[in-house]
Amino acid sequence: MKKLLIASAVSAAFAAPTVALAQAARAPTLSQVLDASGLNVSGYLDAGYSYANRNVEAGGFSNRVFDSQNNSFALHQFGLQVAKQPSRGFGGVVNITVGSDAQFIHSFPEGVAANTFDLTQAYGQYSTGGLTLMAGKFVTLAGSEVIWSPSNSNFSRSILFGAIPFTHTGVRAGYAVSDTVTLYGGINNGWDQLTDANKGKTVELGASIIPNKALTINVTGYFGQERATTPGAPPASGVAQDQRQLLNVVATYTINNRMSAGGEILSVTQDRAAGSAKYNGLAGYFTYNLNREWRVAARAEMFDDKNNFHFGPNNQPAGTDVKYNEITATLAYLPNSSVELRTELRLDRANNAVFRNSDGTTAKSLQTLGFQGIYKF
């Protein structure tokens, strides 16, 4: 009997590590835990090099939002998003942007130029049937291009990208009327305002129309009281707030499984003490996948800054009508689904000498070269 007890104890001692290892082997992975919870975690690293033949930094002039470096490497963005967006019930999204680009997308009163961290989105949502309700801070409905770098086909952003709001804080509702039409509506603090810089609110209206599998059309409008000056700055000539209207139409068309094309129209009007100001623009896009690893993309756009309202002062007298156009060509190499390497050439021109050289002289053109690496996870 004593021998039997000793043998059983020895067997149990040897079996215990085996059981522990088996239990450890069955422990769920982080991916399994996230899948079970309904959470989706995604992100990317965006780093690159930019060269400009004019001075686009301090003391110069740039019509770009992000790639405004004369000759520099930069960590443009580390983007991270955690989302739970069930088709029914409550969910939410948190999205942060870290890097040099984050300095330019802050909402009032966050706007500290040296701050390279931005809470780009943070909102809760509720979905039921075809209705989705959102409350918090979220990206704008307007525009073809977005802050999230992997979703764009070019390295640099368009002029139009910098002429629309980045984010809004408020409430938004989306309702899928059918499989082809979704309507949007909301009220928010205005353009890039975490807290309202004035007493007025901005109304958001939009529609997404998919007449067939190849074509998507998005129409967006923003209407509200916005100061012609920077949010938080003293009102010009004692005018506390003025009316601003934005109308934006974006269309994308899939030609075949390799080619796609798109277009964008933008019109913005702003009431102000000095008289009404306006700017409008037009952009066209083309993308062609040579094969699974190589892709070419092109963009051409025109931008009419009437009264020099959007970009001024830019070496031109106040009220000067300045017209811009640009063409961009990008070659991308995609060795796998996580990595994308891009080379870009871009030429900008203006009807007036708005660009500035390092010696202080001015010019009507700007040429840039860019290299970009994106890692997605």
Q: In Å, what is the CA distance from 270 to each residue of 187, 277, 278, 280?
A: 19, 5, 6, 12
CA pseudo-torsion sign 145, 150, 153, 156:
positive
pLDDT of res. 13: 44
Supply the mean pLDDT for the chain: 90
Rounded distance between C-alpha atoms, residue 264 and residue 180, angstroms: 20
pLDDT of res. 259: 98
E-state strands within 189-293: 202-212, 215-226, 242-254, 259-270, 277-289
Q: Are 70 and 59 in contact (CB under 8 A)?
A: no
Q: Which of 103, 113, 43 is nearest to 76 (CA)?
A: 103
pLDDT of res. 327: 98
pLDDT of res. 30: 64
Rounded to a whole number of angstroms, the CA Rg of the chain reads 26
State pLDDT tens for residues 347-359. Answer: 999 999 999 999 9
Q: In this model, does residue 248 exceed pLDDT 60?
A: yes
pLDDT of res. 23: 46
pLDDT of res. 349: 98
State pLDDT tens for residues 315-351. Answer: 888 889 999 999 999 999 999 999 999 999 999 999 9
**pLDDT interval class at 232 (50, 70, 90):** low
Predicted TM-score of the model (pTM) = 0.89
pLDDT of res. 299: 98
**pLDDT interval class at 29 (50, 70, 90):** confident
pLDDT of res. 128: 97
**Number of alpha helices (DSSP H) and beta strands (DSSP E) in the chain:** 2, 18
pLDDT of res. 28: 75
User: Which residues are 252's β-sheet partners?
Assistant: 216, 262
Q: Which of 92, 137, 94, 96 is nearest to 119 (CA)?
A: 96
State pLDDT tens for residues 280-294. Answer: 999 999 999 999 999
* Cβ atoms within 10 Å, residue 243: 14
Rounded distance between C-alpha atoms, residue 374 and residue 288, angstroms: 19
266's CB contacts (< 8 A; 6+ apart) are: 142, 143, 160, 163, 164, 246, 247, 248, 280, 281, 282
Which amino acid type is present at position 236? A
State pLDDT tens for residues 101-133. Answer: 999 999 999 866 689 999 999 999 999 999 999
Rounded distance between C-alpha atoms, residue 276 and residue 242, angstroms: 10
pLDDT of res. 25: 57
